[in-house]
Amino acid sequence: MLLLAAMAAALVFGQGASAEGRPNIVYFLVDNLGYGELGSYGGGMLRGAETPRIDTLAAEGMQLMNFAPETQCTPSRSALMTGRYSIRSGNHTVALAGNPGGLVAWERTMADILSDEGYATAIVGKWHIGASEGRWPTDHGFDEWIGIPHSYDEALWAADPWYDPERDPVAYVMESKKGEEPTEIEQLTVGVKLDLDVEYLKRSEDFIDRSIAADKPFFLYFNHTLMHLPVAPREEFRGVTGHGDWADSLVELDSDFGSLLDYLDEKGIADNTIVVFSGDNGPEEMEPDRGSAGFWEGSYFTGMEGSLRTPALIRYPGVVPIGQKSNEIVHIADMFTTLLLWAGAKVPDDRIIDGLDQRAFLEGRIPQSAREGFPFWMGERMYGVKWQNFKVVTVLQRTLTEPALQLATPHIINLDVDPKERKPFDYPYVHSWVIAHAAGIVADFRKSVEEEELIPAGAPLDFVPRRGTANE
């Protein structure tokens, strides 16, 4: 009987699982993925290219229609890694070359915690939450990294006629291992960016192989280069759709994600691997690489719904029921808490954690999300609050290049009847009672700041936030 039980466990958990059957985790994060790009979200062929591999995953688990990132790359990545709104960690605005900011040593990332639990951890692609000693991904729990510290628009520098590499900063693709200083592999250029995902896939497969050989569960944080500008496909995908570089790049993204899924199948570990596919913020606004928010309006760097929603798909065989779709709100910080608990790890209790446990909801045990809403910021300014299908907007900004307008009276948007956010107050109903719910969310946040001070942007590496009433 014991032999039969052991054989059954092997069939359930497959290779690469720990003795306790802890799940592997693959988080596939897509840069600047608008809500209107994927077929499963109303894009696909309407954007010039179908996305069959990604859409298949949508049918194999939970498709979130109301997944909330933060409004920029750095804030979203910080919230995902720490489970804390980025305003708490001082990473509430995009990190640029020369920026001394990033995560302080006190912060505990998902990789820190999983590493302590015996997981092998690797990141491929953009980090964007620290680029100095003590702030690299391998200083924050990852065993290994290959990628870039900042943003892919830096690939455009080398072709800029005003750029001088002898005078100006130089962007590099880098790699590092835990306990070692990062090394520069090659200068980041448009040509180098085109082929980076091939190397990311190769490194990911090697990492998976080594984790299996070591009999360790693993956490792979895969950050694809697309759909960040410059949006252009590598040679094998150029011209495949007949609809231009954007559509060809969408095919590339779908193919690369499919290749990673195929490798999980090939190694016999798909049934014990949690796969999360999501964007990090709303779509690109700048031409010629402008993306689409689809049903919604707005781009990243705004408080519009196109900025506050991005696709998110979760597959966990035998745990997350197949074929599920929900418009319940799930924040990117919730993935920190939920993934850690699925892995059997402990969520830190010595700091404010904004991420909520969404297991009961994602597992189909309850129909509602654990979250009713959240405040949203652009940099240090709170732009408003989402609550269920409503938004209370205090700062209005529709596009990346449009000035932010401080509203004398908050706009109350009913997203059910006004998804484009063009008629505040939804007369004759007005919905002014919604402000009470929004005010409660803001009050809870302000109370939490009294319990633990915010880490300022650019804080020194050894900064530790004070705790206690009014931080005295």
Q: How far apart are CA 316 and CA 82, in angstroms?
A: 22
Looking up tokens 């699925």 gives 342
DSSP 338: H
Catalytic residue among 128, 140, 228, 331: 128
* Coil/strand/helix, residue 197: helix
Q: What share of the chain is helix, strand, coil (3-state, %, to 5)?
A: 30, 20, 50
- H/E run at residue 213: helix 190-213
Q: Does the active-site annotation cover 224?
A: no
Q: Does the active-site annotation cover 411?
A: no
Cα 56–chain centre separation:
20
Reported in sequence order, the residue ranges of 97-198 that DSSP labels E, i.e. its strands, are 120-124, 144-147, 172-177, 183-187
- Give Cβ neighbours of residue 383 (< 8 Å, ≥ 6 apart): 71, 303, 376, 377, 393, 394, 395, 397, 404
Q: How far apart are CA 204 and CA 124, in angstroms?
A: 7
Q: How far apart are CA 298 and CA 390, in angstroms?
A: 16
Catalytic residue among 73, 140, 150, 228: 73
Q: Label residue 87 exposed, middle or buried (CB < 10 Å: 0-12, 13-18, 19+).
A: buried
The residues that bridge with 385 in the sheet, in sequence order, are 375, 392
The residues that bridge with 411 in the sheet, in sequence order, are 393
Residues involved in catalysis: 73, 128
